[in-house]
Amino acid sequence: MGQVNACYRELGAELRRRREAANVTPVMIAEETGWSRSKISRMETGHSSISAVDLVFYLAACRNMRPEQREGLLEFCQTAANNEGYWLSPRDEHSQSSLNSLIFHESGAGRRISYEPFLVPGLLQTPAYARTRIVRGVAHMTRDVDETVGIRMKRQAVLNRRSPGEFVFFVHEQALRTQAVHPRIMHEQLLHMVLMAALGHVTLRVVPAAREPSTFGGPISLFEFPQNDPLLYMDGFLTGVFIERCDVVDDYFRYLIPELRAVALGPEDSRALVAKLADEYDRKSPLDVQVEQQGQPEWRCLPRSS
């Protein structure tokens, strides 16, 4: 069982990131505050709770931090202290939705299980596919498109680490039959998924529309950690929700995951279906060509084969 909630782990990592960005060392923090090096280490690694007072002293020792930056961290510190078992992902002027928070928890997990009903999972997206999705939400973003695409691609580095852990992707068939702007984008995207699914630590399972015509709700990710409690992430339009309450997270493992496993195609059949759909996008219809020539970005679904 985890000794400190996931909020404090994320808060500690953010403190360290900001300290390093300010070119301040732990020794300098210790000299400024009178704290021991071990206290600073526990704060930055999430192995102890952080009071609002300690946070203020820490940030003051980092120097040159704008008031609005301190304010956001103080709010998140209060969220961690409340320990309600769930929280909205923090946002600031440098973040796009909850991507930064998601990357942090995702990178520390030993096993990740996700379900995507509408889109290709972010960890499996190609740059072109990611760009089409990001551009559609540009009015709600605080980063520019190129920077956000870059962050999403860097996020995928977790798949290629020396000890990457296990990744299980459940993807509803309708997410694969949706055409984004240009059929070549989907052709490339689905081929990339086939290649990624061949990796030993990656499992791709498609939930066929014939077996599950609707969906099991919105996109979710479940993270299991070697030394901490599991965490549930529910992705929303403008932000995400992290849930750490054991009873809620356990219900997802107890009910949703077995149902997904029961209806989803096996890994080999899933790869075969994705490859088949990639070929269908490669042989685009006259309607696809017309949309391309008109230059009108839109989403449509390929019909299911009989």
Q: How many CB atoms lie within 10 A of CB 83?
A: 13
Report the chain's mean pLDDT, rounded to a whole number: 85
Q: Is the pLDDT of residue 36 over 80?
A: yes
Architecture of domain 99-301: 2-Layer Sandwich (3.30)
Whole-model pTM: value is 0.84
What CATH number was assigned to the domain covering residues 6-83? Answer: 1.10.260.40
Establish whether domains 6-83 and 99-301 are of one fold: no
Q: How many CB atoms lie within 10 A of CB 282?
A: 14
pLDDT tier for residue 278 given thresholds of 50, 70 and 90: very high
pLDDT at 69: 73
Tokens representing 174 are: 């309708």
Which residue ranges make up each domain of the chain?
Answer: 6-83, 99-301
pLDDT at 135: 82
Per-residue pLDDT tens digits for 219-261: 999 999 998 999 999 987 777 899 999 999 999 999 999 999 9
Per-residue pLDDT tens digits for 81-115: 988 888 887 554 334 445 778 888 999 999 999 99
pLDDT at 291: 53
pLDDT at 102: 87
Do 6 and 85 touch, CB atoms closer than 8 A?
Answer: no
Tell me the CA end-to-end span of the chain in Å, nearest whole number.
Answer: 49
CA distance 287 to 284: 8
SS (H, E, C) the chain: CCCCCHHHHHHHHHHHHHHHHCCCCHHHHHHHHCCCHHHHHHHHHCCCCCCHHHHHHHHHHHCCCCHHHHHHHHHHHHHHHHCCCEEECCCCCCCCCCHHHHHHHHHHCCEEEEEECCCCCHHHCCHHHHHHHHHHCHHHCCCCHHHHHHHHHHHHHHHHCCCCCEEEEEEEHHHHCEEECCHHHHHHHHHHHHHHHCCCCEEEEEECCCCCCCCCCCCEEEEECCCCCCEEEEECCCCEEEECCHHHHHHHHHHHHHHHHHHCCCHHHHHHHHHHHHHHHHCCCHHHHHHHHHCCCCEEECCCCC
